[in-house]
């Protein structure tokens, strides 16, 4: 997997509200970059712009990759909400993308990721039986399952207790770094930003 660097330059508005002006963000290839800041400064807006989920955002500027290839199809996004489908099990939610693409033989990879986030014994459970932190881990495993060269993570560890948050963050950081993924993490936590990026 070859992961590009990304550059975002420009201004963004939502309606008449200026979100950011003359922003210039460079995200190096194959490493971790963190957007750290208080609510409302445009961190999630930047993720949405990169992911192409910009239907309510007016953006004047440029988003480009170092290889000049389109970003569509090369991005996995974990949003702040888990967006789990209630009728699917943990395994079913993790495998959702591969099932929609009609990819077969992915169950071993899904099980390995479910184990990595510490949910093996819950793999057949439905989302309503899980805690908020467990649901967040399912969403993280589903995002990792996409196996894309660009990973956008919007506060992926915020619902976890401190010990699990630290250990899981370190493991995910190592995993994506070993794979050479270009990762962009949004967080409010200064310690998490320093640890990850």
| pLDDT, tens only, 93-129 | 999 988 888 887 788 999 999 999 999 999 999 999 9
- The pLDDT tens digits for 5-17 are 999 999 999 999 9
Total-model pTM: 0.90
**Residues 54-71, mean pLDDT to the nearest whole number:** 92
Task: Give the span between the Cα atoms of 182 and 143, in whole angstroms.
Answer: 14
Which pLDDT does position 1 carry in this prediction?
Answer: 64
CA distances from 159 to 44, 97, 131, 133, 166 (A): 17, 23, 9, 5, 12
- C-alpha closest to that of 117 among 160, 64, 74, 80: 160
Please state, rounded to an integer, the average pLDDT across all residues of the chain. 90
Which pLDDT does position 16 carry in this prediction?
Answer: 92
Are 168 and 156 contacting, i.e. CB atoms less than 8 angstroms apart? no
| Other residues' Cβ atoms within 10 Å of the Cβ of residue 25 | 16
- The pLDDT tens digits for 17-37 are 999 999 999 999 999 999 998
Residue 154 or 197, more confident: 154
CA distances from 64 to 2, 4, 10, 156, 178 (A): 15, 10, 12, 25, 24
């Amino acid at each position: 997997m070859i992961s590009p660097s990304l550059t975002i330059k420009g201004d963004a508005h939502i309606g008449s509200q200026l979100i950011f002006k003359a922003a210039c963000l460079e995200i190096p290839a194959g490493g971790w970059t963190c957007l750290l800041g208080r609510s409302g400064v445009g961190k999630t807006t930047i993720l949405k712009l990169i992911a192409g989920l910009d239907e309510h955002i007016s953006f004047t500027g440029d988003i480009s990759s170092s290889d000049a290839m389109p970003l569509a199809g090369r991005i996995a996004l974990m949003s702040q909400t888990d967006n789990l489908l209630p009728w699917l099990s943990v395994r079913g939610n993790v495998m959702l993308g591969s099932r929609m693409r009609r990819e077969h033989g992915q169950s071993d990879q899904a099980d390995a990721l479910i184990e990595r986030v510490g949910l093996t014994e819950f793999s057949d459970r439905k989302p309503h039986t899980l805690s908020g932190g467990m649901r967040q881990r399912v969403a993280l495993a589903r995002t990792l399952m996409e196996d894309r060269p660009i990973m956008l993570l919007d506060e992926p560890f915020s619902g976890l207790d401190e010990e699990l948050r630290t250990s899981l963050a370190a493991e995910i950081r190592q995993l994506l770094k070993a794979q050479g993924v270009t990762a962009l993490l949004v967080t409010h936590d200064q310690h998490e930003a320093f640890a990850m990026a």
